Each structure stands twice: as C-alpha cells, then as structure tokens.
Amino acid sequence: MILLLNGAFGIGKTTVARVLVTRLPRAVLYDPELIGIALQRIARMAGHDVEDFQDLRIWRRLTVIALRVVRLFRRNVIVPMAFSNPEYLEEIRDGITRFEPRHVHVCLVAPLEVVQQRLQNRRLDPRDAQWQYRRAAECCAVHHGQPFATQVDAANRDVNQIAAEIVQMLTA
C-alpha cells in the first residue's frame, strides 16, 4: 500500500508519517522532496528559474518510478507531500495505479492560522519563509475541494491522534 499523506506546509505531514511508519507493518517513509530539490538546483544551474519542483514533469515521473522501486522492498510506503495542484496529484496517483492496486490519499487539513503558527514555530530561514507561507495558504485554500476529499483534521489534535485515525481508516 502507498499512502500519499497530503497537506499544507507546516501542518505536520512528516511528523505524522514518522509515527505511521512505527504503526504499520514493514513501512517506510519516502520523501520525494529530496529528488525535487536536486532537480530544482540542476535546473537553476542550467539557467531555468523553477519556483516549485512539482512544476517539473521529470520530478513527477521520477517520483512514480521511485515509489515503484521502494514498494518492491516495503509493504507500506508513506509519502508526505504538499500537493495543491490537482493535476499533479492526479498524475502521481495515475502513475501509482499502474503498479500498486492499493494506494490511499489522505489530506491533513487545518485553518490557515493554525498552519501559519506552526510555520512560525519552525523559525524558517527568511529566504524560504515567504515562499512557504504562500504555498501553505494555497494548500489551505484548495484542500477542502473534491480532489482532496479524504480529509483528516489536524488542527487541535496531537500527532498520535491523527496517526491513530489514519491507521483506523487504512485497516477498516
């Protein structure tokens, strides 16, 4: 099973993913952001200004390929990502469907004010802060829509409560 754990920047995706890895059998956290950052840097060295690596089609393709490889070795793969573009999310989900019959997309949601407070607690590098705040606002604005239909409230709950709800959802 592949679990796409979606949500705004700062909502707690990676923290929840780490807990889920301990609660699901043979699970691993796979973060495609690492590939994205590398591709973004390569594009910039080549003179292309890429604001968000998700805009790179090669990133989306490599993410699907990497998930296929990781899934060969682990029964459960947890993928924290901040998708706000429904087309990109659908492209990833379609790619996963070609090799993995069971994949689940869950979207952590919270009011923008909660997410902004969590970002503020991170003490972001000022060069990154403006971008992350903007992307968090974009995510919060769209995550209540249809492509992000399986939502889990992450506003006033601790990480263990959120993880328990997701595990229950997966095992029901």
**Average pLDDT, integer, range 15-21:** 98
- pLDDT class of 57 with cuts at 50, 70, 90: very high
Lowest mean per-residue pLDDT among 52-66, 70-84, 145-159: 145-159
Mean pLDDT of the chain, nearest integer: 93
- pLDDT class of 1 with cuts at 50, 70, 90: very high
pLDDT one-digit tens code per residue, 113-125:
999 998 888 877 7
- Entry pTM: 0.92
pLDDT recorded at residue 14: 95
pLDDT recorded at residue 147: 84
Q: Rounded to the nearest 5°, which phi and psi values hold at 101? A: -65, -25
Inform me whether the pLDDT recorded for 160 exceeds 90: yes
Region of 12 (left: φ > 0; alpha: ψ -120 to 50; beta: rest) is left
pLDDT one-digit tens code per residue, 122-142:
877 777 788 888 999 999 999
